[in-house]
Amino acid sequence: MSARFTRYLLLSSFTFVVFGLSVAGAAQPEPWQIGLQEPAGSIAQKATDLHNLLLVIITLISVFVLGLLVFVGWRFRRESNPKPSKTTHNTVIEILWTVVPVLILVVIAVPSFRLLYYMDETKNAEMVIKVTANQWYWNYEYMDEQISFDSYMLKDDELQAGQPRLLSVDNPLIVPDNTKIKFLVTGNDVMHSFFVPSLAVQTYAFVGRSNEVWIDVPPGEKTYYGQCNQICGVNHSFMPIVVKALARDKYEKWLLEAKKDFALSDGPDYIQLASVKK
């Protein structure tokens, strides 16, 4: 092994370790990532389990069909079948290719419907947050606390050490860990989509309509990154989502400060007191 290769290997290992430590407390896309992000919460875990089940089923079907095509191409080639068969139908095969796909669909449908109904259960939430999509930023309103603030993506010259480019924002969505949260997602202009992969939450934002969705933030302080994944205009790729989970005591401290900085007025038309970027 040459000295140059050894230096390259050590440098690569060091870079990998440093990068791994920097994202240990964050859920975000990683270089060369193939699979899903690490699931956070019961919905994400169930969705990941369903994805893995479907991957196995689809792989088995694909391998079977490929093997069947190879076998038929070899078995019924011209050299071994100079006189082609004139078979028009086969009752057993026709029953099998009808019954087997139905059974496969049933196997897929059972966990799929279970997950759909589980995701639709939005009651018993510990807190409610209204999410409003705009071109091109997010507004978060804590319904029970009467606070609201906008969340804009940070520009390159505003980033601090450890903040990922194109994913960091000035005001992240702060939530307490180990909490069930219901989101009311709506929009002010064109169609948007609120999407945080690791929490398995994605719902569309329309004008004049509120879509309900919920997440259960797992225990532990962590930052979850997402983005609008519905093409909504020229700056569609510049409206990231940052959900930052804090321990309950730290969340309460943040809430006290937030009520000073982001309080809503008591009038019919809420006035946001936070500074708004032009």
pLDDT digit string, tens, across residues 231-278: 999 999 999 999 999 999 999 999 999 999 999 865 444 444 333 343
Supply the pTM of this predicted model: 0.79
CATH superfamily of 127-261: Cupredoxins -  blue copper proteins (2.60.40.420)
**pLDDT per position as a tens digit, 94-148:** 999 999 999 999 999 999 999 999 998 888 899 999 999 999 999 999 999 999 9
**Residue 81 and residue 220: Cα distance in Å, rounded?**
67
- Confidence (pLDDT) at 265: 67
**pLDDT per position as a tens digit, 36-92:** 899 999 999 999 999 999 999 999 999 999 999 999 899 888 888 888 878 888 899
Beta pairing class for 26-27 and 201-205: unpaired
- Confidence (pLDDT) at 22: 39
**pLDDT per position as a tens digit, 170-222:** 999 999 999 999 999 999 999 999 999 999 999 999 999 999 999 999 999 99
Instruction: Give 167's DSSP letter.
Output: T
The architecture that CATH gives domain 42-119 is: Orthogonal Bundle (1.10)
Give the residue range(s) of CATH 1.10.287.90 domains in the chain: 42-119
**Residue 150 and residue 173: Cα distance in Å, rounded?**
10
Give the residue range(s) of CATH 2.60.40.420 domains in the chain: 127-261
Q: Which of 149, 153, 120, 130 is nearest to 227 (CA)?
A: 153
